[in-house]
Chains A and B, each alone.
Chain A
Amino acid sequence: SYVLTQPPSVSVAPGQTARITCGGNNIGSKSVHWYQQKPGQAPVLVVYDDSDRPSGIPERFSGSNSGNTATLTISRVEAGDEADYYCQVWDSSSDHSLFGGGTKLTVL
């Protein structure tokens, strides 16, 4: 079955750029979506279809997807960006969804 692999943690200083990866076999052929979950809150969609942002999500959040890796990029990181981030795909062959294991972003 298809597996999405994320690093358990990423650390970045305020004002720098954070890159969170999501690995999968030929993931570039799929559309990848990203969610932010702050402690005690429900997840929020921050990027969909690899690189589109829902209304209200800052332009600092962007995404890319190619080959075997999709990447969520957060520019000019702020303390408020500290959260868990999850990638997700929809497997059209099985008509099922799948999440990556999640990455904890720490702002130093």
Chain B
Amino acid sequence: EVQLVQSGAEVKKPGESLKISCKGSGYSFTSYWIGWVRQMPGKGLEWMGIIYPGDSDTRYSPSFQGQVTISADKSISTAYLQWSSLKASDTAMYYCVRRGYGFSYYFDYWGQGTLVTVSS
């Protein structure tokens, strides 16, 4: 069974750094791209970026380029999303997703989400 299991909720202060994780299991972790999706409170889904764990090739949405870093450690089947200096506006639920493919690319499996709260 394919599973993406994310790290737990975080409460941070503005300016602090943070790294959240997403561990894949039940499939070949290095063969599928893993992405991140943000959902701010009461709002819609926003695609942030994606990484190919096989060679760490990474793509970022223009809206998130330079704001976050996506990485992966294939030895432990885990992808990461990190911030160097959090802002209150980073408060959101963050989902990791596996990119599936047919005629195009879609997100066939989702993690349970990691709630990040940034407040002074």
Which of A18-26, A42-50, A69-77 participates in binding chain B?
A42-50
In the complex, chain B residues whose CB is within 8 Å of the CB of A93: none
Q: Give Cα distance in the complex from A89 to B47, angstroms.
A: 11
Taking a contact as CB atoms closer than 8 A, the residue among B47, B100, B112 that contacts A96 in the complex is B47
Interface size on B, residues (CB 8 A): 23
Instruction: Contact check, A90 vs B45: say whether CB atoms are below 8 A apart.
Output: no
What per-residue 1/0 map shows which CB atoms of B3-36 lie under 8 Å from chain A?
0000000000000000000000000000000010
Given A43-B45, A99-B47, answer yes or no on A48-B108 (Cβ-Cβ < 8 Å). Answer: yes
In the complex, chain A residues whose CB is within 8 Å of the CB of B89: none
Q: How far is the CB of B30 from chain A (nearest CB, A)?
A: 19
Q: What 9 A-B pairs are tightest by C-beta distance, nearest first?
A: A31-B104, A33-B106, A90-B105, A97-B47, A102-B44, A42-B110, A49-B102, A99-B45, A48-B106
> Could you list which residues of chain B lie within 8 angstroms of chain A, going by C-beta atoms?
35, 37, 44-47, 50, 59, 61-62, 95, 100, 102-108, 110-113
